[in-house]
Amino acid sequence: MNTDELNALEATLAFFDTCDDVVTEFSSGHSSDESSHSVHNMSAETITDVAVGLLTNSSNPRGHVSAAAEEIVRVKAKLEVPGRNRSRDLQKLELLQLRVEAEALQQRVEELQFLNGDIENPLTALITGTSSWSQRSDEIRRGAWQGMAKRQKKLRKEAESENEQLRGLVESQLKTVKTLKRLFYKQGMAKINPGLSRGRNASIISDGPSQEYKVLEKLSRNLNDLFSDTDSVFESNGLRAISSPFLQVNKQPLSAANTRIDLLKCDVLPFEYRTVAKIFADKMASNFESEEDKHIPSNLKENVVARATTLELEQLKIQFRFTGYKYAEVKREVIVLSGQNKLLEAFGVAVDGIRYQEKSWCILSEMSPGVCLIQLCISVTLEAKPLVDGRRGFVNKLCELLAGFKQDMFDSVQQEVERDLLRAS
């Protein structure tokens, strides 16, 4: 070997050593914070030489011998040793050959992609100074976040839809449980109270619109008499002297079939009494609207509040027929009600002939400027003729239910009035 050949060999070895050092610096600096500093310190000529060398080296298949190929040579040498377990060596040899073929195919695919322009040579991007790799990384990261956001939004919508379905199922189950509870209650009360009439219920059969008109007209004619008795009634029951919150229920048997219930109540509202009286009268006229009201003559509705409705409660079913009117006086307004009602069902059992007359007085007066004093008296007379003798306990139970119903109904109306006044203030 002459001097020129030795010089060429040394230059070639130095070139490959330089390529290995530069590639090592580039790969290690790409994942550290000092990558940009090490890359920028390299000269353009060095980078160009490295790129040309790598491309030349990659085109020469003899310039690189993989570890798998070396391992194949060693395994083949072991196969020639007599007495050795050849099956294990043959399996290892086959795996190594497949690995070499896979590496060759992967290298060929990368070369074809590079030739077609599908991928970009990282050294070329480094030479031109572009930031395509960082931009592509940002785009991939942004796409990943967008995908996660869309998936989260989809999952949230599915969860909301499922929750809505579950709420509907819960409401349906609650209604079913309530219906079953009521049916079981009716069945139990029918066994406890065998003395009630379970036959033909005459009160359910309508008496005709004309009969209802006569009842309402008669009740409306009694309103003036009720208003004239206001002071005497409040004087007799003691409400006239009470001006603080107060509640009392009195029950008095009048005969074997008749019982009188008196509900007495006082309360104070921090609002002007005329405004309170107006809203009370409006609630009295609107809270009991029903299909039956359409048959009431308009001339009767123009003069007084007239209502005909059927109210179904948990333990009672009541047919209401009542009229009312609001009278204005100096420093106070009086609302009077007169009703003639029927009991259609009690404790889930149809009953016949149980009626009760109702008279109500509600005085709304000025306790002080801007403060309203409410004084209420509800008098109910219950008549239960068709009951079997010895059923006084049943009558007392009905009286308790009616008293509680009247109290709850007035409290509900009062709460609605207070909410309306608070919204208006």
Task: Map residue 343 onto helix, strand or coil.
Answer: strand
Asked if residue 273 lies in contact with residue 333, where contact means CB atoms within 8 angstroms, the answer is: yes
The residue out of 100, 115, 137 marking a domain boundary is: 137
Which residues fall within 8 angstroms of residue 338, CB to CB, at 6 or more apart?
Answer: 219, 220, 222, 223, 226, 322, 323, 324, 358, 359, 360
The residue with tokens 């009431």 is 296
185 in a structural domain: no
- Residue 27 burial (CB count, 10 A): 11
The residue with tokens 């998936």 is 151
Asked if residue 20 lies in contact with residue 28, where contact means CB atoms within 8 angstroms, the answer is: no
Asked if residue 324 lies in contact with residue 336, where contact means CB atoms within 8 angstroms, the answer is: yes
- Mean of per-residue pLDDT scores for the chain: 72
Choice between 141 and 203, residue whose per-residue pLDDT is larger: 141
Per-residue pLDDT at 54: 44
Question: What is the C-alpha to C-alpha distance for residues 251 and 398, in angstroms, rounded to an integer?
Answer: 11
pLDDT above 60 for 98: yes
Asked if 132 and 198 sit in the same domain, the reply is no
188 in a structural domain: no
pLDDT above 60 for 103: yes
Give the CATH number, domain containing residue 420: 3.30.530.20
DSSP for 130-180, written as a single string: --HHHHHHHHHHHHHHHHHHHHHHHHHHHHHHHHHHHHHHHHHHHHHHHHH
Asked if 197 and 132 sit in the same domain, the reply is no
Asked if 260 and 407 sit in the same domain, the reply is yes
Asked if 105 and 249 sit in the same domain, the reply is no
Question: What is the C-alpha to C-alpha distance for residues 326 and 147, in angstroms, rounded to an integer?
Answer: 68
pLDDT above 60 for 386: no
199 in a structural domain: yes
Enter the tokens of residue 179: 């219906």
387 in a structural domain: yes
Choice between 56 and 382, residue whose per-residue pLDDT is larger: 382
The H or E element that residue 307 is part of is: strand 305-312
Per-residue pLDDT at 205: 29
Portion of the chain with pLDDT greater than 90, in percent: 6
Per-residue pLDDT at 111: 78
Asked if 301 and 392 sit in the same domain, the reply is yes
Question: What is the C-alpha to C-alpha distance for residues 344 and 348, in angstroms, rounded to an integer?
Answer: 10
Which residues fall within 8 angstroms of residue 228, CB to CB, at 6 or more apart?
Answer: none
The residue out of 137, 168, 203 marking a domain boundary is: 137
Q: What is the pLDDT of residues 129-181, one digit of tens each?
A: 555 666 777 777 777 788 778 888 888 888 888 888 888 888 888 888 877 77
159 in a structural domain: no
Per-residue pLDDT at 193: 44
Asked if 418 and 296 sit in the same domain, the reply is yes
Asked if 126 and 200 sit in the same domain, the reply is no
Asked if 209 and 93 sit in the same domain, the reply is no
Question: What is the C-alpha to C-alpha distance for residues 226 and 324, in angstroms, rounded to an integer?
Answer: 10
Q: What is the pLDDT of residues 229-252, one digit of tens each?
A: 889 999 998 888 888 888 998 888
Per-residue pLDDT at 59: 43
Q: What is the pLDDT of residues 15-61, one digit of tens each?
A: 555 555 544 444 444 444 444 444 344 444 444 444 444 444 444 44
Portion of the chain with pLDDT greater than 70, in percent: 65
**Could you tell me the pLDDT band of residue 375, with boundaries at 50, 70 and 90?**
very high
Domain total in the chain: 2
Average pLDDT over residues 303-316: 76
Its domain, for residue 17, covers 3-137
Choice between 308 and 60, residue whose per-residue pLDDT is larger: 308
150 in a structural domain: no
Question: What is the C-alpha to C-alpha distance for residues 202 and 352, in angstroms, rounded to an integer?
Answer: 6
Choice between 70 and 386, residue whose per-residue pLDDT is larger: 70
pLDDT above 60 for 217: yes
Average pLDDT over residues 93-106: 81
Per-residue pLDDT at 102: 81
Asked if residue 338 lies in contact with residue 219, where contact means CB atoms within 8 angstroms, the answer is: yes
pLDDT above 80 for 352: no
